[in-house]
Amino acid sequence: MHELSVTQNILEIALRHAQQAGAVRIREINLVIGELSSIVDDSVQFYWDIISAGTIAQEARLNFVRVPAKLRCRQCGHEFALGRNDYVCPACGSFAVSVVGGEEFYLDSIEVDLAEPQPGPGQTP
């Protein structure tokens, strides 16, 4: 699997957005991962601990929100979970389906510490 390159992408995105916001530390990273986007949480966390070392994202917690795969029948509109061995709609028996959930694969948000505001003129730190 390709968790290392995925983890590098997560770090790059998180650092870029943290920098834009002027953050000094990233505390948490919220990821939304669909069931169909095959990725192993433990493996990402393993690589994360290595590649985030020495960055402001070191020791950040990775939160994985998992989205189950969901299908929608194109005949009757019924929505159902991805079954094991067929794609037949349990409501009407049609096998014309669309995938409407489970493909998510994005970094939703980060929790950061912002830099302390610089003391203005005349103020004593």
Partner 1 sequence: MSNKIPVVENILNANDQLAEEVHRRLNQAGVLAVNFMASPGGGKTSVIVRTVRALMDEVRIGVMDGDIVDLDLRELAGMGIPVSLINTGGECHLDANMVYRALPSLNLDALDLLIIENVGNLICPAAFKLGVHLNVVIASVPEGDDKPYKYPQMFRGADVLLLNKMDLQEYMGFDVEYFRRGVEALNPGVTFLPISCRTGEGFDAWLTWLRAQINGRGAAK
Distance (Å, whole) CA 22 – CA 82? 42
72 lies in the binding site for partner 1 (CB under 8 A)? no
Give the residue with the Cβ less far from partner 1, 38 or 53. 38
76 lies in the binding site for partner 1 (CB under 8 A)? no
Pick the piece of the chain touching partner 1 (CB under 8 A) from 18-26, 51-59, 60-68.
18-26
Distance (Å, whole) CA 118 – CA 115? 8
Give the residue with the Cβ less far from partner 1, 84 or 124. 84
Distance (Å, whole) CA 73 – CA 47? 39
10 lies in the binding site for partner 1 (CB under 8 A)? yes
Run of H or E including 121: none
Other CB atoms within 10 Å distance of the CB of residue 49 = 13
Other CB atoms within 10 Å distance of the CB of residue 59 = 11
Radius of gyration for the alpha carbons in the chain, expressed in angstroms and rounded: 21
Residue from 1, 53, 91, 100 in contact with partner 1 (CB under 8 A): 1
Q: In the structure encoding, which two tokens stand for residue 30, read together?
A: 């919220």
38 lies in the binding site for partner 1 (CB under 8 A)? yes
- Give the interface with partner 1 as residue ranges (CB under 8 A): 1-2, 5-6, 9-10, 12-14, 17-18, 21, 23, 27, 31, 36-38, 69, 74, 82, 84-87, 95-97, 99, 103, 105-114
